[in-house]
Structure 1
Amino acid sequence: MSAIPPWIDERIDRNLDNALTQEHVVETMLESDRPFFSIRQLHARIKPDVSRATVRNRLRELQEIDVVATETYPDSITLYYINHPESEWPLSPEGKRALNADTPLDRLSTRGFLTLSDTAGIRTLVLAGFQLSLVLFALGGVLTITGTDVGSTGSDIVLWDTAFDLLFVSLTLLIAERTVRWIRERYGPLNILPST
């Protein structure tokens, strides 16, 4: 086991009646190569006969005594890390800004799109398609009600057609993503494209 630094050792409660002690959680975090953990990741490293709720309770206790701190990121991910007083764990300010600015569409790669494996990116793309089709429906409706045309193209009809096309493509993409996810959950990963 890793030696617990004195600043942590003097703060933690050594209640041996608990199935999981604060000391064991801290030792697990210190001996790992990872600088931060989700509850699921920490639970997998500790021991299988302790519930996630127990891990969450110990982390909450450690957070109250300033041994552990948290960062919450998009997609409701909370990461726990040792709150080293002398450093900016787990990320530098530049790293924090990069993570906060990084959206699912920023992370969506061509491979992730073609294999429909990046579900967050695909769903963000589908949601954007739904919203854009709603805007096109609204604009087409306004032009139809006011009887206004932009140029001689019958712009209200063009907007309606485009909105229906975009809605169809978005629905098709959503159904394809959910079908592929269901197949992966049932039969395991599909290696359609070679990995790099």
Structure 2
Amino acid sequence: MSSLPEWIDERIDRNLDNTLTQAHVVETMLDADRPFFSIRQLQARIKPDVSTATVRNRLNELQAIDIVATETYPESITLYYINHPEAEWPLSPTGKRQLASDSPLDRLSTRGFLTMRDTAGIRTLALAGLQLTLLLLALGAVLTIAGLDIGSTTSDVVFWGTAFDLLAISLGILVIERLVRWLRQRVGSSDLIPGM
């Protein structure tokens, strides 16, 4: 289990006579991939097995010292979460920083693209290309069905052609990225395939 943050460590009761300690409840909540829990969800994660009443008692104690907070929903469902002082519910400070960070496309550099190092940015770029392909195909289909042309060109043909070109480019980028990733895993990093 992870060590407790200082703001929690200085508040919790170190009573080791309890079957379930406040520290164990908080550590279980912090180590989980989810931001909030019902009593039964938390009870299922805690080892050794303890009663629902014991889990509820520890959560009430933690709520009294402002480490845990609750949200109550219809049908008497109460969810418990760590009441991080630096972030609003239900985000932890780490979650808040991740949401505020740049998107993969914002971080994608020319070098990261050419060396296929920034896989998240490359995949995001390819997926954006696939979505734009769908838009161009839809526009081409609407213009073809309606029999409309924009300007002096046969615009439906232009949209169809551009969509298929973009589809080929996007799929090519995805295939190359996967191939480079596979080669890196298979043969390791080399001068031809710079490491990640």
Matches within 5 A, 1:81-100: 90=93, 96=96, 99-100=99-100
The aligned residue for residue 125 of structure 1 is: 125
- Distance in 1, matches of 2:170 and 2:186, equals 24
The aligned residue for residue 7 of structure 1 is: 11
User: Which amino acid in the other structure matches residue 146 of structure 2?
Assistant: T
The aligned residue for residue 158 of structure 1 is: 158
- Distance in 1, matches of 2:46 and 2:191, equals 39
- Distance in 2, matches of 1:113 and 1:12, equals 55
Task: Count the aligned residue pairs.
Answer: 148
Matches within 5 A, 1:7-86: 7-8=11-12, 10=13, 22=24, 65=62
User: Which amino acid in the other structure matches residue 142 of structure 1?
Assistant: V
Secondary structure of 2:11's aligned partner: helix
Identity %: 56
- Distance in 2, matches of 1:108 and 1:137, equals 27
| CA positional deviation for 1:193 | 8.2
The alignment's TM-score, normalised by the length of structure 1, stands at 0.55
- Distance in 2, matches of 1:15 and 1:163, equals 66
The aligned residue for residue 141 of structure 1 is: 141
- Distance in 2, matches of 1:160 and 1:107, equals 31
Checking the alignment, whether the CA contact within 8 Å between 2:84 and 2:93 is kept in structure 1 is no
| CA positional deviation for 1:189 | 2.7
Checking the alignment, whether the CA contact within 8 Å between 2:116 and 2:122 is kept in structure 1 is yes
- Distance in 2, matches of 1:147 and 1:124, equals 34
Checking the alignment, whether the CA contact within 8 Å between 2:137 and 2:163 is kept in structure 1 is yes
The aligned residue for residue 108 of structure 1 is: 108
Secondary structure of 1:153's aligned partner: coil
- Distance in 2, matches of 1:188 and 1:68, equals 46
The aligned residue for residue 178 of structure 2 is: 178
Q: CA RMSD in A?
A: 4.4
* Structure number with larger C-alpha Rg: 2
The aligned residue for residue 51 of structure 2 is: none
Checking the alignment, whether the CA contact within 8 Å between 2:115 and 2:194 is kept in structure 1 is no
Distance change (3 Å), C-alpha of 1:191 and 1:163: same
User: Which amino acid in the other structure matches residue 166 of structure 2?
Assistant: L
Secondary structure of 1:148's aligned partner: coil
| CA positional deviation for 1:154 | 0.7
| CA positional deviation for 1:99 | 3.9
Q: Indicate the larger mover: 99-108 or 186-195.
A: 186-195
- Distance in 1, matches of 2:166 and 2:67, equals 51
